[in-house]
Amino acid sequence: MLLSTTQNVHSDSVGTTPTTVEKASARTFNVYTATIKHLSAHLSKGTLTSSEIVDTYLRQIEQWNPKSKALISVASREQVIRLAEERDQERREGMVRGVMHGIPVVLKDNIATDVELGMPTTAGSYALLVGKANLTELASYKSLKAQDGWSAVGGQTINVYNPKASPGNSSAGNGVSVAAGFCPASIATETDGSIVLPALASALYALKPTVGLISRAGVVPLATYFDIPGPMAKCVWDLGTLMDVNWHGDAPSNLSLASHIATAFSDAITLMSAHGATIIDPADIPSAVDGSFYRCRAGARSVVVNAGFKEDMGRYLRTLGGEGGVRSVDDLIRFNEEHADIEMPPDHPGQDVLLRTLHAVPISSPAYEEAVAEMHYVAGERGLDAVFRETGADVLFSLGDGGRHSLANMVGYPMGASSGDFLRLSRR
């Protein structure tokens, strides 16, 4: 495990439960287990101030971010403490604007933020932003050879539970920043798996909302057909809170681990049944059974992603005014070639995925429309819609591997992630 279980600034031992946090002496809390719910309760009771909360998280970041590289940029201590003090004064005057008032969060680095915060967007309520999360460069849309969680600006994000394991894909820094105790929750983005997979890698809860439910204003696009922001947190209550705040729509060994996962999955089904859920098993997805989903994922879905990236990223770059001479995907490819020592070092070579966009079809073309229609049929009519229609189920519950997350993304449906029994294994 990367992080020490004994050194914890202004906090109790890592084993502290949320109940213990509630009873902790004034001015202390556990950065590894603290949730929005518990911090908000402390603020309401006056046992913590926003200034104290922010100071504690900043100290944790200063100590561990150089090793984890979860954050690509960190807010100015002076500035964010000043903002926290303003939130404290507002609270004293009875001006509390919601549960997130004065609570720090982290945003993925492809979400634009106010320039006055001093944290550039390199791929942006009254909550306080303490940092921008590192990410796989260009949201994993650069090269198949690039490692998860690496960017030329931020370096390699490290999984806090196992430095040799993947930290998840594009939103790796979001998951690691929450698990490492840099913040109670974070806002990430997903095109296809970039919220749920990093959350699973960091033993968190996450929600990839229905496309269009949350505004994408200020989000660097990959392919707007799929793109959507969403939260990662340490409990489901926090996910709901962050969704309420952001609800503004657009116009061991592998063998032993596999055995443990199967047991945990079975236990979860038993627990849901004990709490009144009707379990329908199996609930097979027709297009996954006959293989058409996997063919569509590699074919039609790639057509839509490539076309969307070329169009949407090009439009985004042009709105920036062509800083650095980059106004299109072609310019971006050329920039990487001219700065290969930084953008394509030996451990992260190539930009083969980017190069595919040079041959992308226009989004106004019949080929693009046919690909979208195929996705809707395979992932919808012959996929999720078929299961819901034939079983009458309200929710599908599945293991997080095998690429099944793409089914929801291909039709814009919501999707969540749960840490399962990994919390017990990681002793958080």
Which residue type does 99 have? V
The burial class, CB within 10 Å (0-12 / 13-18 / 19+), for 107 is buried
* Residue 181 in this model has a pLDDT that exceeds 90: yes
Catalogue the active-site residues: 108, 170, 194
* Residue 19 in this model has a pLDDT that exceeds 70: no
CA–CA separation, 175 and 185 (whole Å): 9
What the block records as the tokens of 36 is 């929005």
Reduced to 3 states (helix: H, G, I; strand: E, B; else coil), residue 299 is coil
**Where is pLDDT greater, at 259 or 84?**
84
Reduced to 3 states (helix: H, G, I; strand: E, B; else coil), residue 106 is strand
Segments in 17-148 forming alpha helices (H): 18-23, 36-45, 50-68, 77-92
pLDDT of residue 261: 63
**Where is pLDDT greater, at 249 or 48?**
48
* Residue 247 in this model has a pLDDT that exceeds 60: yes
What the block records as the tokens of 398 is 């599945």
> What pLDDT digit, counting tens, does each position of 209-221 carry?
888 888 888 888 8
pLDDT of residue 156: 93
Reduced to 3 states (helix: H, G, I; strand: E, B; else coil), residue 230 is strand
Which residue type does 422 have? F
Q: Are 155 and 68 in contact (CB under 8 A)?
A: no
> Across residues 74-101, what is the average pLDDT?
89
**Where is pLDDT greater, at 249 or 61?**
61
pLDDT of residue 119: 53
* Residue 251 in this model has a pLDDT that exceeds 60: no
> Across residues 339-344, what is the average pLDDT?
89
CA–CA separation, 343 and 361 (whole Å): 26
The burial class, CB within 10 Å (0-12 / 13-18 / 19+), for 286 is middle
Q: Are 115 and 154 in contact (CB under 8 A)?
A: no
Instruction: Report the predicted TM-score, pTM, of the whole model to 2 decimal places.
Output: 0.69
Q: What φ, ψ does residue 106 adopt, rounded to 5°?
A: -120, 140
User: Looking at the chain, which residues constitute the CATH 3.90.1300.10 domain(s)?
Assistant: 18-253+420-426
Q: Are 148 and 172 in contact (CB under 8 A)?
A: yes
Closest C-alpha among 199, 198, 200, 202 to residue 162: 202
Enumerate long-range contacts of 86-92, CB under 8 Å, 24 or more apart. Answer: 87/50, 87/126, 87/128, 88/49, 88/50, 88/51, 91/43, 91/50
* Residue 10 in this model has a pLDDT that exceeds 90: no
CA–CA separation, 397 and 297 (whole Å): 20
E-strand ranges in 290-376 read: none
Calculate ∠ Cα 142-144-146, nearest 5°.
70
Q: Are 357 and 310 in contact (CB under 8 A)?
A: yes
Mean residue pLDDT of the chain comes to 83
> Across residues 11-37, what is the average pLDDT?
57
pLDDT of residue 262: 65
Segments in 163-291 forming alpha helices (H): 172-179, 196-201, 236-246, 254-274, 286-289
pLDDT of residue 144: 76
pLDDT of residue 301: 93
> What pLDDT digit, counting tens, does each position of 342-368 carry?
888 888 888 988 898 989 999 999 999
H/E stretch holding 375 reads helix 366-375
* Residue 18 in this model has a pLDDT that exceeds 80: no
DSSP result, 124-153: ----EEEEEE--SGGGG-S-TTSPTTEETT
Whether the ω angle into residue 282 lies within 30 degrees of 0, i.e. cis, is yes
CA–CA separation, 141 and 151 (whole Å): 11
**Where is pLDDT greater, at 68 or 225?**
68
CA–CA separation, 302 and 372 (whole Å): 10
Which of 112-126, 178-192, 401-415 comes out lowest in average pLDDT?
A: 112-126
pLDDT of residue 252: 42
> What pLDDT digit, counting tens, does each position of 117-155 carry?
555 444 325 578 899 999 988 877 787 777 898 888 999
Task: Specify the residue for token string 């909360």.
Answer: 53
Closest C-alpha among 229, 222, 223 to residue 245: 229
Helical packing angle, 77-92 and 50-68, nearest 10°? 150
**What is the CATH class of 18-253+420-426?**
alpha beta
CA–CA separation, 15 and 66 (whole Å): 24
pLDDT band at 11 (very low <50, low <70, confident <90, very high): very low
> What pLDDT digit, counting tens, does each position of 98-107 carry?
889 999 999 9
> Across residues 20-43, what is the average pLDDT?
75
CA–CA separation, 13 and 15 (whole Å): 5
Q: Using a pLDDT cut of 70, give the percent of the chain over it.
A: 84
CA–CA separation, 313 and 141 (whole Å): 11
> What pLDDT digit, counting tens, does each position of 254-306 carry?
434 445 666 777 788 888 889 999 999 888 899 988 889 988 988 999 999 99
* Residue 321 in this model has a pLDDT that exceeds 80: no
* Residue 159 in this model has a pLDDT that exceeds 50: yes
Residues 6+ apart with CB under 8 A from 283: 387, 391, 393, 396
* Residue 22 in this model has a pLDDT that exceeds 60: no
CA–CA separation, 236 and 190 (whole Å): 19
